[in-house]
Amino acid sequence: MAPIRVRDSIVIPDDELVWRFSRSGGPGGQHVNTSETRVELSFDVTASRVLDAATRERITSRLRNRLVDGVLTVVASEHRSQLRNREAAMQRLAALLEEALRPPGPRRRPTKPSRAARKRRVDEKKQRGRTKQLRRRPDE
C-alpha cells in the first residue's frame, strides 16, 4: 500500500507498517468463512525513523493506554473486502496519530456553583424529603 500521511511533515513509509490479515465475522455470508478480510495494522512508535524525539514522546504519552511495548495497533473489519478494510485501518491510524499530536486545549478554569444554584439544590432536597415523609405510615 501507499505510505500514511499524518501531517505534511510526517509520512510513515510502508516498510514501518506491519499488516496482519485474518477471517472476519459480520456480514458476507459464506464469503467471510473463506477470505481473510479483517485487517490489523501495527506501527512501532518507539522504533520509527520518521518521528523525532519530541513527537515520539508526545505520541507515547498521549496513547500510552493503546500502546503495547511501544506498538500501536488498529483493527478494521467492518467492510467485506480486504482492500476497504486496509483503507479504513490506514485512516484510523492516521487519525489516532493526528489526534495525539494535536496541542492540548486551553486549561479549564475552576468555577463554583452560584449562590442561587446552591439554594435551588437545597430546596429540591427539602422538597424530596417532604414528599417521602408524606408517603410514610402515620404515627399512632
Each domain of the chain, given as residue ranges in start order, spans 4-101
Q: Residue 126 has what pLDDT?
A: 97
Phi-psi sector, 28: left (phi>0), alpha (psi -120 to 50), beta: left
Rounded mean pLDDT, 57-77: 90
Q: Residue 109 has what pLDDT?
A: 94
Q: Residue 28 has what pLDDT?
A: 65
Q: Residue 119 has what pLDDT?
A: 97
Q: Residue 82 has what pLDDT?
A: 86
- DSSP secondary structure code for residue 96 in this structure: H
Cα separation, 113 vs 104, in Å, equals 26
Q: Residue 132 has what pLDDT?
A: 95
Amino acid found at 24: S
Pick among 3.30.160.20, 3.40.190.80, 3.50.50.60, 2.60.40.3950: CATH of 4-101: 3.30.160.20
Q: Residue 15 has what pLDDT?
A: 87
Q: Residue 108 has what pLDDT?
A: 92
Alpha helices in the chain (DSSP H): 31-34, 53-62, 82-101, 115-135
Give tens-digit pLDDT for 7-44.
777 888 888 889 998 887 766 667 666 778 889 999 99
Q: Residue 77 has what pLDDT?
A: 87
Cβ-based neighbour number of residue 93 at 10 Å: 21
User: Which residues contact residue 18 at a Cβ distance below 8 angstroms, ignoring those fewer than 6 apart?
Assistant: 41, 42, 43, 44
Cα separation, 120 vs 24, in Å, equals 54
CA of 81: how far to CAs of 24, 28, 78, 96, in Å?
10, 9, 9, 23
Give tens-digit pLDDT for 87-138.
999 999 999 999 998 888 899 999 999 999 999 999 999 999 999 999 999 8
Rounded mean pLDDT, 41-50: 90
Cα separation, 104 vs 87, in Å, equals 28
Cα separation, 119 vs 122, in Å, equals 5
